[in-house]
Structure 1
Amino acid sequence: MTRTAQGAAKAPRPPARERILSTATTLFSEYGIRGVGIDRIIAESGVAKATLYTHFKSKDALALAFLAGVDVAWREMLTDAAAAAGDDPADQLVGLFDAIDAASENGRFRGCPFLNTASESAPGSPAHRATVEHKRAVRAWTGGLAEAAGVREPALLARQLTVLLDGAMAAAALEPTDDVLPAVRQAARHLVEAARPSSASGD
């Protein structure tokens, strides 16, 4: 192989900020924010301490960047799972739970990163507020699907389904058995059907 070919075959190294955030995302997801020190992130991302603090002023700032990335990724998984269930919003309200399958494909699912982070954070702290904002956004999106499905109380159904979603993620992380998600989907279907007007259910 020529020197030119060798150079072409070697992928360029990602920018420092990207490496830091990617490393932090992997470690925070696996061990929690409190369980990972800045020195480990520096060592595994291959940057100098000054470089890390150039891009992230504190560990809290890095944690918020981690949560922002998780927010985008998780909401995309939810919308993709809902869309895959078909055009009926009622089916989409059940299908969104398949996002847990997508999140656990690598076999290392650790539950909801937002709830995990909130459990380590003081109420009112930036990380705790980010969790509340994320959960409200997911609930509002779910409420929109519920309205489109024509249920009687969309806000109530959205609250019920998102609480079920959080519980399902906890169960999938603690006891990743094959019967968790089918049971959750069945419960979601019952909630959706019960919330629909009597005429829609054939009564």
Structure 2
Amino acid sequence: MDASEYGDLESLSLDALAPRERILKIASELFYRNSVHTVGIDRIIAESGVAKMTFYKHFPSKANLVATYLRHKSALWFDMLATATEQAGPVPLDRVLAVFDALNESFRAPTFRGCPFVRGLAEFGPDAETPEVQATLAAYFQDLHDFVVSLIHPLKLKNQGSVVVQILALIQGSLVNAQAMRGGVETLATRDAAKMLIEAAVERG
């Protein structure tokens, strides 16, 4: 999934966007800054400057808008990770650690409000009647798992599955810690933990 699928929402002003992108830009800002359940459709319509009919033409329900918002966030996230790991060069360990460097940078941004997917799990639990949202959340976590597998695989570890689970736990733990503690220092410790974990696994591999 490519972030360009959703238009240049991050850099363009609201006036420069088509109605669908205006709606998505406002919804993304409000959902992420506040929460999905506290932001109503009427507020999104008012702040995006579109007619209600236009809104429902592009997004037949709030659940559909939420799922689109999450797919947009997922595309941005994986674009960031792909850029970071590519810039790290060909050494597999460096590519894994680049994930934590990228996280540390994002945690320092004043707009950081935690992981939208972890927050989404809390807002859309197993009893929620929003299958599109839940499927989008499930797809994100599967994509993150597959991405980590792609980074770990070149290391040729015998216990690859276990290392993947542990790296995922470090990533998710750093996301939650950064939201709770509002800083990037703890992420550097998590990066060190990932490095020690992999180096130990290489020695056993």
Specify the TM-score bucket, using the shorter chain as the normaliser: 0.7 to 0.9
Which residue in the other structure is 1:188 paired with? 194
Q: Which has the higher contact order (CA 8 A, sep 6+)?
A: 2
User: How has the CA–CA distance of structure 1 residues 39 and 50 changed in structure 2, closer, same or farther, with 3 Å as cutoff?
Assistant: same
Any conservation in 2 of the 1:33–1:63 contact (CA below 8 Å)? yes
Q: How far apart, CA to CA, are the structure 2 residues paired with 1:36 and 1:26?
A: 10
Q: How far apart, CA to CA, are the structure 1 residues paired with 2:19 and 2:196?
A: 48
Q: How far apart, CA to CA, are the structure 1 residues paired with 2:52 and 2:108?
A: 33
Any conservation in 1 of the 2:27–2:44 contact (CA below 8 Å)? yes
Gaps of 5+ in 1: 1-10
User: How far does the alpha carbon of each residue in 1:141-177 deviate from its partner, in whole angstroms, 9 at most, with x for none?
Assistant: 1112111122222222111111110110111111123
Residue 32, structure 1, aligned to residue 35, structure 2: yes
Q: How far apart, CA to CA, are the structure 1 residues paired with 2:151 and 2:63?
A: 34
Q: How far apart, CA to CA, are the structure 1 residues paired with 2:67 and 2:77?
A: 15
Any conservation in 1 of the 2:178–2:184 contact (CA below 8 Å)? no
Which residue in the other structure is 1:156 paired with? 162
2:109 paired residue among 91, 106, 109: 106
Rg (Cα) greater in structure: 1
- Using the size of structure 2 for normalisation, the TM-score is 0.85
Gaps of 5+ in 2: 1-13
Pairwise CA distance, 1:108? 2.1
Pairwise CA distance, 1:85? 2.5
Which residue in the other structure is 1:8 paired with? none
Q: How far apart, CA to CA, are the structure 2 residues paired with 1:65 and 1:180?
A: 31
Any conservation in 1 of the 2:107–2:183 contact (CA below 8 Å)? no
- SS of the equivalent of 1:133 reads helix
CA RMSD of aligned residues (A): 1.8
Which residue in the other structure is 2:54 paired with? 51
Pairwise CA distance, 1:12? 6.1
Which residue in the other structure is 1:4 paired with? none
1:23 paired residue among 19, 26, 29: 26
